[in-house]
Amino acid sequence: MPEIPVAPTRLVGDILLGTLGDVLGKVFGMKTSLGAAGVGTSVGGNMEGGGGSHLGSGGDGISNAEATAEGRERLMSLSEEVTRRLPDLTSVEDDSPGGAGGGRAPREPTADRTALNAEVDSVIVAAKAAETTWRRYFEAHVRATGGATRARTAAAQCDVARAELAGATMARDAISSGAVDMDPSLRATAACKIDEKVAAATELVSRLAAEVAVHNAAETEARGQAATAGRAFRPSYDEVRKRALRLRLAAEERAERQIGRALSRADRDLQNKTIKLRELRESKGAAGNASEGGSSAPGLKGGDMLAELERRFEGALAGLKKIREAAEGAKTSIEWSKLTISNVDRVS
């Protein structure tokens, strides 16, 4: 049988926790999937609504309610996380007008948290409603799997019993036909013992064969129930998946714009520092030529200024590289979400 999908509420939690996974996970090393850390994009979904049941969980010790709470928190705090994790280039800025730029804006636009929270609540309510049909599928799947396992075990035991019966039958035939030279008194005793063993083995084979038939019938019935329940739960399950993915996609697109603004500021900041660095190097060269001609510039610490500006330039360059990685990660995260939504639309 196919693999059992995770519970709908856990699915929602895993989808939301994976929001912007190629940035928060691959670039910043944060946890982006349930039970794992820094592993990029992932989709994985409370059997008992809000009760913290582990039924349908990923086997990582995190309940479905906890998974949903983690996903909600990631979505609600995404803008703050991006701002916190982007390189803070304020520490390497110069004091010139127009030189401000880097990883942080004075004020970032934020999503309407009340509206966003209501949307997340709506998806979670739909997920809990979908778990009624999902539970039927889960339980039927478990029964079918258990029936198949018990049937295989009984069949293996039956094969062993048949082999023992065949051996006992051959021994009985050899004794009764006189093929074995034995004392008549011992022959009668041996024949009696072998007959008892043949009878016991025959009864065991018959009982185990009946068990195999019962388990096979139970498996067939459970498979049919699982197929019926699967057709019933799939539409609502896929709808929950799509709604969670759309919330995730919208958040990723907002984050991409936020990172884009940071990238523009960092680009401008680096351009300003490049110009200043070039000008200072040129002025230092001119000052050196003047000093060779007998002039001097008392109090001018050109070497210190140049070293400080070079330090700022290197810091801005490293920060810009990190922000560019985040911008690229945002693009791939958005592409993944769009592709996944289109795949769900195609199969549903």
Q: What would the 3-class secondary structure string for 116-183 be?
A: HHHHHHHHHHHHHHHHHHHHHHHHHHHHHHHHHHHHHHHHHHHHHHHHHHHHHHHHHHHHHCCCCCCC
User: Is the Cβ–Cβ distance between 288 and 298 less than 8 Å?
Assistant: no
Which tokens belong to 222?
A: 């459970």
Query: For the segment 288-297, what is each residue's pLDDT rounded down to a tens digit?
Result: 555 554 444 4
Q: Which of 50, 14, 11 is nearest to 32 (CA)?
A: 14
CB-based burial label for 325 (10 Å; 0-12, 13-18, 19+): middle
Write down the domain spans for the chain.
8-144+236-347
pLDDT at 295: 45
User: Is the Cβ–Cβ distance between 116 and 34 less than 8 Å?
Assistant: no
Query: For the segment 237-266, what is each residue's pLDDT rounded down to a tens digit?
Result: 999 999 999 999 999 999 999 999 999 998
pLDDT at 337: 96
Query: C-alpha distances in angstroms, 300 versus 268, 283, 288, 307?
Result: 28, 11, 11, 14
pTM of the model: 0.71
pLDDT at 305: 78
pLDDT at 329: 95
pLDDT at 56: 59
Query: For the segment 275-287, what is each residue's pLDDT rounded down to a tens digit?
Result: 888 888 888 766 6
pLDDT at 22: 94
Query: What does 57-119 look like in DSSP terms, one character per residue?
Result: --SSS--HHHHHHHHHHHHHTHHHHHHHHS--GGGG--SSTT---SS--SS-----HHHHHHH
Instruction: Give the single-character DSSP code of 6.
Output: P
Q: Which stretches of the chain score pLDDT less than 70?
A: 1-2, 35-60, 89-111, 178-182, 285-303, 348
Angle at 241 between CA 236 and CA 244, to 5 degrees: 125
Task: Say which residues have a Cβ less than 8 Å from residue 149's Cβ, sequence separation at least 6.
Answer: none
